[in-house]
Amino acid sequence: MSDPLIRLDNLTVAYERHPAVHHVSGTIYSGSLTAIAGPNGAGKSTLLKAIMGELRPAEGRISHQLKRTDFGYLPQAAEINRRFPICVFDAVLFGAWPNSGAFGRVSSEDTDKARAALSAVGLQGFEKRHIGSLSAGQFQRVLFARLLLQDAKVILLDEPFNAIDARTTRDLLEIVARWHGDGRTVVAVLHDFDQVRAHFPETLLIARTLIGWGPTGDVMSPANLLKARAMAERWDEDAQACEPAA
């Protein structure tokens, strides 16, 4: 087993004091490839943001020796504004910011790397295209190229293949496998259980509280999945109970 990289200790994360993730403890090991799975509203995105330090624990703690720039993060598609007037090449080049500083000079090494990253994701020739003109799959390739350039130790992906065509998904899964082969630590929120089983050796299954965390085959058991679903149904009932009485 490799070294512990990030420890979660009784972690609770809340919005306006309403906990979205309760009392999660466990370890992300260096070089591991982990899926975060669970129903809608389970706290998966919240957990990812807490891991990268964008959200603070309401209780418990996250410990690691990493810097903010050691994390590469791909937000859920809904959180990205694609109308921002920028071309593909510049969008990828922004991945170099952690190294050059926001107002630093972009080196010719960076532009070479950006070109290489675009070709690694199959987008050579797209450099001058406006990002708003791309298909969902092409845009996701741009974001992966950006992560390639960023060269982060820990890569956090939030539903990277949601609404993405099969061919792009396959190509991007290959990049994930390459990151894993390089020894990077990768954590991805996924909702496709077959994808989780096929490509992710470790799984963290959450339904606001932790249901399981360990080897995917153990965690994604029918009993655990049933438990996750039952917990999600209970939130739905709670939501109904909050509606004003007729």
| Residue numbers 73-112 binding Mg ion by CB under 5 A | none
Please tell me whether residue 160 binds ligand ADP under the rule CB under 6 A. Answer: no
95 or 212: CB nearest ligand ADP = 212
Among 89, 85, 87, 113, residue whose Cα is nearest residue 99? 113
CB atoms within 10 A of CB 201: 15
Q: Does residue number 46 form part of the binding site for Mg ion (CB under 5 A)? A: no
Count residues contacting ligand ADP (CB under 6 A)? 10
Q: CA-to-CA distance for 224 and 196, rounded, in angstroms?
A: 15
Please report how close the Cβ of residue 97 comes to Mg ion at its closest, in angstroms. 25
Phi and psi at residue 208, to the nearest 5°: 70, -45
Give the number of residues written for the chain.
246
- In whole angstroms, the minimum distance from the beta carbon of 99 to Mg ion comes to 29
Q: How far is the CB of 79 from ligand ADP (least distance, A)?
A: 10
Q: Does 45 bind Mg ion (CB under 5 A)?
A: yes
- Residue 184 touching ligand ADP (CB under 6 A): no
Contact between 44 and ligand ADP per CB under 6 A: yes
- In the chain, the amino acid numbered 179 is W
Q: What's the DSSP call for residue 232?
A: H
Min CB(24)–Mg ion separation in Å = 15
75 close to 48: Cβ distance less than 8 angstroms: no
Distance of closest approach, residue 17 Cβ to ligand ADP, in angstroms = 10
Alpha-carbon gap, residue 93 to 217, rounded angstroms = 39
The site partner of 43 among ligand ADP, Mg ion, none (C-beta below 5 to 8 Å per kind) is: ligand ADP
Residue 156 within binding range of ligand ADP, rule CB under 6 A: no
Beta-carbon contacts of residue 114 (< 8 Å; ≥ 6 apart): 89, 92, 93, 95, 96, 145, 149
Which residues form the interface with Mg ion (CB under 5 A)?
A: 44-45
